[in-house]
Chain A
Amino acid sequence: MFDKSISELHSLLHKKELSVSEIVQSSFDRINTVDEKVKAFMTLNEEGAMQAAKALDGKLGTEEARGLLFGLPVGVKDNIVTKGLRTTASSQLLGNFEPLHNATVVERLNAAETITVGKLNMDEFAMGSSNENSGFYGTRNPWNTDYVPGGSSGGSAASVAAGEVFFSLGSDTGGSIRQPAAFCGVVGLKPTYGLVSRFGLIAFASSLDQIGPITNTVEDNAYLLQSIAGHDKMDSTSANVDVPDYLSSLTGDVKGLRIAVPKEYLAEGVDEDVKNNVLQALKKLEELGASWEEVSLPHSKYAVATYYLLSSSEASANLARFDGVRYGVRAEAENLLDLYKKTRSEGFGDEVKRRIMLGTFALSSGYYDAYYKKAQKVRTLIKNDFEKVFEDYDVIIGPTTPTPAFKVGEKIDNPLTMYANDILTIPVNLAGVPAISVPCGLSNGLPVGLQIIGKHFDERTVYRVAHAFEQATDHHKAKPEL
């Protein structure tokens, strides 16, 4: 059943050939069969989900069941708060945290009457590229469980690839939706900064964080974005723009489209197989009537350093709230200062501590100008690179990651090697533009992702190109065997 698209499922429900309870049960059956190996889920909501399914079955066949997402199971990354359903951000410090309200995206999914089957594993507080930084256990890649699923939305991507859910929500600060989507062979979109409300997203780096959908197909992705996008008065950084119709952009027509291919994105360090897959994809888009030219994003090589300074600085401030006072697991201590220190030292994992340390250092007296402010200035240069290219081109295309998934344990001991993996996704967050990763082939049995980057709020063009490519190829039909 899990190769079905949202519109196929909707039609089966509509014709009453399938009930909501049957669909949701099949999701749990699949989780019970494969999640022991994949470990995509942190918390399951079986009782609540089955109850909700039963209630929705009562509406089948009525006007109320007309919504396209009606009755479909969804997985939610564990840094997005869900009322009464444990939300840990994969941190021991929040191991007992039951949120008192829903994130806006969860409210919007509830309004569309999807059913939350559970919370998805991630790198602790979204800091990591392999899910090995989860405070509980690492998710594995469904294509080969010796390999990482990517991160930080590793559970979100792996659950869709493993057929446990049809779609999920992730969050992307420096590539955390696109990189795991690429590694797991699914479709992942990081929307324009501000398009989707972040109210109820446990903040990591507020100037970069964005929630987005992970799905099997581009069409499904557009359906999901349609239901979660739009202004929210609870998030003052959410943009007050009209949400266009994304579905009508899926025309299959890319004639006359102008594609820019940054030479920095196919440079040294990018795996030969990955490069060839991307070049094949460009050839396919040419056959469909698009044209491409090589361009330069000259400040690309400074993106990783800029990103780690800025995101860690913001994180050091955002994570100050985790002090064991109002929520979370509190350590025993004699006085308040010790309580803060013990709670944080016992509750946070190494990567989180490393980033808090880096951020605190970069913001500390005497270093602010040299590191934080310098990075903010370089961010402007990186953003300008994109703006300049977008004067002459409709989209920018390259690989999502320099290599396919790496082995569990391969990079965990060297933070800098791990950080370098995000070199092609990070600039997009710094510029605030939207980008999608779609499957574009396999390398030694592991998926390769094609990244399509668009202008601010031009998700329609991003989807149009991704969909045209997807429909002209069979890459999205390849599924892992578990």
Chain B
Amino acid sequence: MSRITKEQVKHVANLARLEMDEAEVEKFTTQLDDIISMAEQLNELDTENVEPTTHVLDLKNVLREDKAQPWLSREEALKNAPDHANGQVKVPSIFE
């Protein structure tokens, strides 16, 4: 039985901000289904009383003083922006 449907792939693609044509949807449906089938192998294990790993080392919260440090200038920060105007990054319209 297929675990992943084409509709799910389209939904996830939208969440991930990816565009796909029908052929790609088809391909990713099959491939994700294969990968998820492999992942379900984990269900063989009883993990009821197992703590999830959130960090491999015993690190405690790492905090620093909330103080501004010199970093990039505005001009530098905009250097790699594909488009900018008036010292700000420019993008196409957000609303119709």
Binding site for B on A (CB under 8 A): 96-98, 100-101, 193-194, 207, 233, 236-237, 239, 299, 301-302, 304-306, 308-309, 316, 320, 323-330, 333-342, 344-345, 348, 353-354, 356-358, 360-362, 364, 371, 373-381, 383, 415-416, 430-432, 456
Contacts and interface: CB of A to CB of B under 8 A. Distances in A.
Contacts of A308: 35, 38-39
Given A96-B80, A100-B77, A377-B52, 18 more contacts: A100-B79, A207-B56, A299-B45, A305-B39, A305-B42, A324-B82, A326-B89, A334-B92, A335-B93, A336-B93, A341-B19, A342-B19, A354-B31, A357-B28, A357-B32, A361-B32, A374-B43, A377-B53
A299 B41 CA distance: 12
A341 B17 contact: yes
Contacts of A358: 32, 35-36
B28 A354 contact: yes
A266 B80 CA distance: 49
Contacts of A330: 82-83
A377 B92 CA distance: 43
B32 A326 contact: no
Contact of B80 (A98, A305, A357): A98
Given A326-B81, A377-B52, A378-B42, A416 B34 contact: yes
A383 B56 contact: yes
Interface of B: 4, 8-9, 12-13, 15-20, 28, 31-32, 34-36, 38-39, 41-43, 45, 47, 50-57, 59, 62, 64, 72, 76-77, 79-83, 89, 91-94, 96
B42 A374 contact: yes
Given A333-B92, A354-B32, A377-B50, A98 B18 contact: no
B72 to A, nearest CB: 6
A334 B92 CA distance: 6
A379 B52 contact: yes
Contacts of B55: 207, 237
14 contacts: A194-B59, A299-B45, A324-B82, A325-B89, A334-B92, A339-B91, A354-B35, A358-B35, A375-B39, A380-B50, A380-B53, A415-B34, A430-B53, A432-B56
Nearest to A97: B80
A381 B47 contact: yes
A381 B89 CA distance: 46
B71 to A, nearest CB: 9
Given A207-B56, A327-B81, A345-B18, A361 B51 contact: no
